[in-house]
Chains A and B, each alone.
Chain A
Amino acid sequence: MFVTLYELWLGQNNDPIYADEIFTPVGLITLLFSLALAALFYLILGRWKAIFYRTSHWIIALVIAGIFGYAYALWYALDATDAEETDSYMQGFGGVNLLYALIYFFVFSLLLKRFSIFAKRTPF
């Protein structure tokens, strides 16, 4: 599933390592990270005290999800391919993973916000 999601935007890479060893673990970890971040925001902080629950806080969490998506994709791809530095495909992969991280966090926000107390109406 993750291979399809990434190749939809990036196309196939000549090196099969992306399809075989990179897309699926990076996609899965990004998904789990976004879920964990949303759970932390809505179920832990959002139920604990009225400290980190406003829309501005949610945007910070969203940015964290995006930064993680981009940085993790690059780090994983560099590590898996043993490359010295990033190439344009890798940069694009980082950008697409950032986009998916944002989408995952947004979707998990919609699913989890009802279980929150203080962030029940965040971001809307």
Chain B
Amino acid sequence: MKLFLFGIGGTGARVLRSLTMLLAAGAKAPADLTIIPILLDMDMQNGDTERALREVELYRAIRRVAYKDTAASQGAQTERRTFFATPLQPLGTLQAENAQEKIGDSVLPKLTDHEGTFEEFLSVSNMDDIDRELLKLLYDNSAKPTSAELKLNLSVGFKGNPNIGSVVFNALEDSAVYKYFTGAFNDQTDRIFLISSIFGGTGSAGFPQLVKLLQHPSQKIQIRNAKKGAVTVMPYFALEENSQSAIDQNRFLSKTKAALSYYQTQVNLDALYYIGDRPGSKLYPNVEGGAKQTNNAHVVEMLAAASILDFANKPEGEFGDAKRYFEYGLKRNDRTLDLPHFYDQTYNGLLEPLIRFAYATKFFTDFVPGNLGEAFAKNLSLSQNLRTNTFYTSLDNFMTHHFKNWLGEMAQNDRAFYPFDMQNDFNAMVRSKRIETGFFDKGISEKFLRDQAGKIENSLQSSFPEPEKRFMQLLIEVAEKCREKLGPLNRQLSDAAV
């Protein structure tokens, strides 16, 4: 099954970032799932988008080498696929019928060739006087940075103005990327999912337009009949005061209310997920777009990404004729969340894999470099390859600079999600349970890891002759052993609220 995932605007990119992390950790997803992420954004330089793209690229580079071509078991042992298991494939790499224009293999295909102001996009200079005057009634014609509408440079997105974005997205149907999508969408089991925010510019403009387009009678039947879902991210952060910025956070709630009432009647999807949060005390920089817009990861984005997997995991028969709405609830409304704050579905589907991946990350980044003289490392030629081989450098980059940062950003945000202390030793890494040690049992010690790595690597040699594939299996199994050592977690919340 292919899931065509449209991420619209900066929120789309941030949720895709979280999804990439969850998939890297092996979050529960159908075995045959391939995700086709398509970011739709005019702001091609956006920092959030650029970071998400880099992470998807790293994910793909790792996955390409980590597993055998076919999922079937070869040799004595069956290949385990947990970390980086689900393929992420850019739209441009799919076969597309009748696609006249190639769109490249980026997850962020160009939405339009237009570079310039909204006024130029509308070709105002070619309009007759009456149309021009009408436009001036509808849009602010000043060039002031805080209120520019017609003079707004579209290369940084719509700066929180869905009234501009909706006009631009109206032309989506004629874009090369949409034509390619329609050509590539051929299977009845394929699904479509949309990510957008409801309080910004690009997402709130693009989402209803895209839904309308996907349901239009002129669309091919496979697209019209496909199961469609969406997550709408409502306000969850507050911005710093910036009188020079066109983004006015005081309008977030009013824009949300207006959009929700529109969605109620105009948006017909099989599953619609809503998520939001009361903004915390950590203020985000008020940046209109561009490379400087790199917001810290937030647990709301992770849970929005979880909705994508929830949608993908739903069996075909679960979708009825009626629209289904989903919201998210925690066990308790604390400002710092830990593993016990989540109910079983999230815990089993997302958090258990995250625990394992956190152990794998710590093993790879903290343990392996100091143990290159061990037999398992020598058998894998790690001392030669760790800093030169693309697979290992990509894995190191992903884990050290992206996964750990992602966890760190969520831990420092408000509301915080702080389940792991990656700076601490293995026994204290999972904050909700410290592994008890004694005279005979040192928990997850260096010796324990050396034992496990040595034995596991030795057992994998015949089935996985290629070192990179063997190393991925080693990571999966070492993480599993660490998880076993951790033992059952107490998932009852303690009385003291944080």
Contacts and interface: CB of A to CB of B under 8 A. Distances in A.
A50 B378 contact: no
A50 B378 CA distance: 15
Nearest to B375: A120
Contact of A121 (B379, B450, B451, B455): B379
Contacts of B451: 49-50, 118
B454 A117 contact: yes
B397 to A, nearest CB: 28
Interface string B451-466: 1001100100000000
Nearest to B456: A117
Interface size class of A (residues with CB under 8 A): 10 to 19
A119 B458 CA distance: 11
Contacts of A50: 374, 447, 450-451, 454
Interface string A19-37: 0000000000000000000
Main secondary structure of the interface of B (DSSP, over half): helix
B99 to A, nearest CB: 53
Best-surrounded residue of B373, B375, B450 (most CB of chain A within 10 A): B375
A117 B454 CA distance: 6
Interface in A36-80: 49-51, 53-54
Contacts of A121: 375, 378-379
Given A50-B374, A50-B454, A120 B379 contact: yes
Contacts of B458: 117, 120
Contacts of B379: 120-121
Contacts of A120: 375, 378-379, 458
Nearest to B455: A117
A116 B458 CA distance: 9
Contacts of A122: 375
A120 B455 CA distance: 11
Interface in B10-56: none
Interface string A105-124: 00000000000111111100
Contacts of A49: 447, 451
A122 B374 CA distance: 9
A121 B382 CA distance: 13
Contact of A117 (B373, B375, B378, B447): B375
B450 A118 contact: yes
Nearest to A113: B375
Contacts of A119: 375
A103 to B, nearest CB: 24
B454 A118 contact: yes
Contacts of B450: 50, 118
Interface string A86-114: 00000000000000000000000000000
Contacts of B378: 120-121
Interface of B: 373-375, 378-379, 447, 450-451, 454-455, 458
Given A120-B378, A121-B378, 6 more contacts: A49-B451, A50-B447, A51-B447, A54-B373, A117-B455, A120-B375
11 contacts: A49-B447, A49-B451, A50-B454, A53-B375, A117-B458, A118-B374, A118-B451, A120-B379, A120-B458, A121-B378, A122-B375
Nearest 7 A/B pairs, CB to CB: A50-B450, A120-B375, A121-B378, A117-B458, A118-B454, A121-B375, A117-B454
